[in-house]
Structure 1
Amino acid sequence: MSTTKRRAAVLGSPIAHSLSPVLHRAAYAELGLDGWSYDRFEVDEAGLPGFVEGLDDSWAGLSLTMPLKRAILPLLDGISDTAASVEAVNTVVFTEDGRRLGDNTDIPGMIAALRERGVDKVASAAVLGAGATASSALAALSRICTGPVVACVRSEARAAEMRGWGERLGVDLVIADWSEAAMVLEAPLVIATTPAGATDALAADVPERPGTLFDVLYEPWPTALAAAWSGQGGDVVGGLDLLVHQAVLQVEQMTGRAPAPLAAMRAAGEQALSGGTAA
């Protein structure tokens, strides 16, 4: 049992419905870290520098969600190769010598969530959407997909962004218009990175023998696409799986304790989503 007073928190805007406090507090309880606290703060890009500069040496780390994953970069002393690959940081660890080090646990979190369901390598894949999460999906696919990746996007501007990420990450990327999304559902792995409701219309187009769907949403859950996918016997990896796996890595980095208690963290997240508190 450790009663050392240490602090951590998740920052973002909006942040009120973040499950991160539930997951991290469950980990602290399981690890006996009685002196540790984990909170959430509504912080936008304008307020981020002042917030970070105001932290004292009791702080162990920060989790970052939108819109701060790139805004944090100028405030750091160094970032991991993983974070640099997508120019996005979701984890900051404060070292004993006062440095601020950034990492991206979304990418290895995606890989771990897929591996948990037996997906280690795929011959091809599809990505629905082209936002910030899509770049992390491409980075994960650069490590596990041996063939082409089709990305379905809604605009030429988004297409250009995705082409840039594909080139940077070394992914054999094919851009398709969103109107062709139904056709890419035949891929052995489909990663949906879109906001709630965006893929609902695709539920009717799930193939008879679907592969694996990774839908990054966790609320509402299941999405219409995920429900239809499961109904056809396909494997589904959800947003809670991603959230838990990336949080496990954050807990390990911030506390120095490994392995983090994945089962306890997932149980806490499931309880919160089923009607318990998400405070």
Structure 2
Amino acid sequence: MSIRRAAVLGSPIGHSLSPVLHRAAYRELGLADWSYDRFEIDEARLSRFVGELGPEWAGLSLTMPLKRAVIPLLDSVTATAASVEAVNTVVLAPDGTRTGDNTDIPGIVAALAERGITEVPAAAVLGAGATASSALAALARICTGEVTAYVRSEARAAEMRHWGEKLDVPVRTADWSEAAAALEAPLVIATTPAGSTDALAAAVPERPGSLFDVLYEPWPTTLAAAWSERGGRVVGGLDLLVHQAVIQVELMTGRPGPLAAMRAAGEEALAAR
């Protein structure tokens, strides 16, 4: 059996749970000759790193700031990745062909579906940026009505309207100062950095809908804890991380990713931090 390699690249990368999740998958699948590492790679070093990959490489996971920088280095990009101009997965064929994909989008859809959320009449997105555009792409599949994006600047608002047009999702933008109103939506997706939504916890409605908070550390966030206390349904960042990694494992190995084993490994690693 030939040795096969995969890794996650990004900067900073020390916090990444990807090695824990993928190695757990390899153990569960009996892939003893597979390895998964992490490399501190920024945009300046990416081209050389990718160019030097040998035939033993099966795939790469990419985090910030590489999700757009990698695109010119690829032979092809899937429609899913092209829809948000962001690649978080590179699959390397035996002949060296490099295909870029995005597992964040189906990962969001799968994490929501696991909690019974398969269709919503409207949604709110807190924040802008790469994760927010992936959230919009996921909502294109499950939201039948308008999405309201709450952002901090007109430049960010214009960006979200652009993605809405590209993804064929009706997007209305509102200023961050109005973000408490977002919590009335049937589904709220929070894509902001740690601490950004803490002040909104006091505004959680008496009967909240569903919250998808993409953070996994620290967990629960102040908003997620308040949401749970009110009886609302909460999906967390670890759910997204695991579901998108399950898809990566299948793309790289050709075998279905073992969800339960990967989630257990992620929970154990977070508990130990």
| TM-score normalised by L of structure 1 | 0.97
Does 1:189 pair with 2:187?
yes
Q: 2-side partners of 1:107 and 1:184: how far apart?
A: 21
User: Does the residue aligned with 1:150 lie in a helix, a strand or coil?
Assistant: strand
Does 1:7 pair with 2:36?
no
Q: State the shift of 1:4 in Å.
A: 2.8
1:225 aligned residue: 223
The residue type paired with residue 58 of structure 1 is: E
Contact 2:126 2:188 in 1 (8 A): yes
The residue type paired with residue 249 of structure 2 is: V
1:126 aligned residue: 124
1:272 aligned residue: 269
Once the two structures are superposed, what CA deviation does each residue of 1:158-180 show, in whole Å capped at 9, x if it has no partner? 01111100110011111000011
2:31 aligned residue: 33
Cα RMSD between the aligned structures?
A: 0.6
Q: 2-side partners of 1:54 and 1:81: how far apart?
A: 26
The residue type paired with residue 275 of structure 1 is: A
Q: 1-side partners of 2:237 and 2:219: how far apart?
A: 9
The residue type paired with residue 92 of structure 2 is: F
The residue type paired with residue 139 of structure 2 is: L
1:236 aligned residue: 234
Contact 2:76 2:99 in 1 (8 A): yes
Once the two structures are superposed, what CA deviation does each residue of 1:77-136 show, in whole Å capped at 9, x if it has no partner? 001000000000000000122100010000000000000000000000000000110000
1:116 aligned residue: 114
- Structure 2 spans left out of the alignment, 5+ residues: none
1:262 aligned residue: 259
Q: 2-side partners of 1:61 and 1:149: how far apart?
A: 34
Once the two structures are superposed, what CA deviation does each residue of 1:59-93 show, in whole Å capped at 9, x if it has no partner? 00000000000000000000100000000000000
Q: 2-side partners of 1:172 and 1:159: how far apart?
A: 13
Once the two structures are superposed, what CA deviation does each residue of 1:217-237 show, in whole Å capped at 9, x if it has no partner? 000000000000000000000
The residue type paired with residue 88 of structure 2 is: N
Q: 2-side partners of 1:11 and 1:155: how far apart?
A: 30
User: Does the residue aligned with 1:176 lie in a helix, a strand or coil?
Assistant: strand
Alignment equivalent of 1:248, drawn from 220, 243, 246: 246
Q: 2-side partners of 1:213 and 1:21: how far apart?
A: 27
Percent identity of equivalent pairs? 77
4+ residue stretches of structure 1 with deviation over 6 A? Answer: none
Once the two structures are superposed, what CA deviation does each residue of 1:187-215 show, in whole Å capped at 9, x if it has no partner? 00000000000000000000000010000
Alignment equivalent of 1:86, drawn from 75, 84, 88: 84
Q: State the shift of 1:29 in Å.
A: 0.1
- Structure 1 spans left out of the alignment, 5+ residues: none
The residue type paired with residue 66 of structure 1 is: M
User: Does the residue aligned with 1:46 lie in a helix, a strand or coil?
Assistant: helix
Q: 1-side partners of 2:13 and 2:60: how far apart?
A: 13
| TM-score normalised by L of structure 2 | 0.99
Q: 1-side partners of 2:182 and 2:117: how far apart?
A: 18
Number of matched residues?
273
Q: 1-side partners of 2:195 and 2:2: how far apart?
A: 44
Aligned residue runs from structure 1 range 127-166, under 5 A = 127-166=125-164
The residue type paired with residue 124 of structure 1 is: A
1:105 aligned residue: 103
The residue type paired with residue 231 of structure 1 is: E
Q: 1-side partners of 2:272 and 2:94: how far apart?
A: 39
Contact 2:55 2:95 in 1 (8 A): no
